[in-house]
Amino acid sequence: MTPVYKRILLKLSGEALMGDQEFGISSEVISSYARQIKEIVDMGVEVGIVIGGGNIFRGLSGEAQGMDRVTGDHMGMLATVINSLALQNSIEKLGVPTRVLTAIEMPQIAEPYIRRRAERHLEKGRVVIFGAGTGNPYFTTDTAAVLRAIEINADVVIKATKVDGIYDKDPVKYCDAVKYDTVTYSEVLNKDLKVMDAAAISLCRDNKLPLIVFNSLVEGNIKKVVLGECNCIGTKVI
């Protein structure tokens, strides 16, 4: 089985790492992700990863509680680094070399993000986890994922979620929600489909970067996406 994509950027949400918990990191979920990532690395796919921090702290929720937005976003960036280190540990336990590169320098625990260094790690078959978002407040980790994907010349962004693709409305709340197999970036923006924030979607559209949204909680789905079976398990945005 030959992968359709040579280099991917996998976007994981912080909330997904919680599993059934209300807070923190589920060892079961993070181990499942690690196994799935090893599976595609063994197929020769170069993997970059961006993780959210919503399982620990979210800047917007801090702002809602009266916190300064910039401070809240900085705390959220640190939360993504905690998640990145946890995932690095899980992947390396399976024998896959992994590097964490952060947009905010913290040399004792991770390498600083340098584009050429990231590309070199990928070429050597290492998994690269990009921590601390873009390093700037007001930018989501979705935007960071798309930005890093463009910088490292990834073939596709695959966004791991709890639902099996993009729907016209929230499938958890509405039983008559209709799933899209493919959808255009303009449709996502015009219909305000809650996939990623507008900045991330616009960046994808302007740089002609494909985006696949799928359910990552079913083990084996990441491999299916990489093999080009996304229509069965997700939605492709083009």
Share of the chain above pLDDT 90, in %: 58
Give the separation between CA 31 and CA 103, rounded to whole angstroms.
Answer: 25
- Would the pLDDT of 128 be above 90? yes
Name the least confident of 32-46, 127-141, 167-181, 193-207.
Answer: 167-181
Name the least confident of 27-36, 66-75, 192-201.
Answer: 192-201
Between strands 156-161 and 211-215, the pairing is: parallel
**What integer pLDDT is reported at residue 145 of this predicted model?**
96
pLDDT class of 231 with cuts at 50, 70, 90: low
- Would the pLDDT of 151 be above 80? yes
- Would the pLDDT of 1 be above 80? no
- Would the pLDDT of 63 be above 70? yes
How far apart, in Å, do the first and last CA atoms of the chain sit?
A: 24
Higher pLDDT, 238 or 80: 80
Q: What pLDDT, in 10s, does the model give residues 11-36?
A: 998 888 888 888 889 999 999 999 99
- Would the pLDDT of 187 be above 80? yes
Reduced to 3 states (helix: H, G, I; strand: E, B; else coil), residue 46 is strand
Average pLDDT of the chain to the nearest whole number: 90
**Could you give the domains of the chain?**
7-218 (3.40.1160.10)
Name the least confident of 2-16, 77-91, 111-125.
Answer: 2-16
Residue-level length of the chain: 238
Beta-carbon count within 10 A of 71 CB: 13
Give the separation between CA 90 and CA 94, rounded to whole angstroms.
Answer: 7
Six-digit token string for 35: 């196994």
**What integer pLDDT is reported at residue 101 of this predicted model?**
97
**What integer pLDDT is reported at residue 5 of this predicted model?**
93
Output the DSSP codes for 171-186: TTT-TT--EESEE-HH
Q: What is this structure's pTM?
A: 0.93
Six-digit token string for 114: 């340098």
Q: Does residue 203 contact residue 157 with C-beta atoms inside 8 Å? A: no
Q: Does residue 10 contact residue 48 with C-beta atoms inside 8 Å? A: yes
Give the separation between CA 154 and CA 144, rounded to whole angstroms.
Answer: 13
Beta-ladder partners of 213? 159, 235
Six-digit token string for 103: 């947009």
Output the DSSP codes for 78-105: HHHHHHHHHHHHHHHHTT--EEEEESS-
Write down the residue that tokens 């991917």 correspond to.
Answer: 8
Q: What pLDDT, in 10s, does the model give residues 82-116?
A: 999 999 999 999 999 999 999 999 999 999 999 99
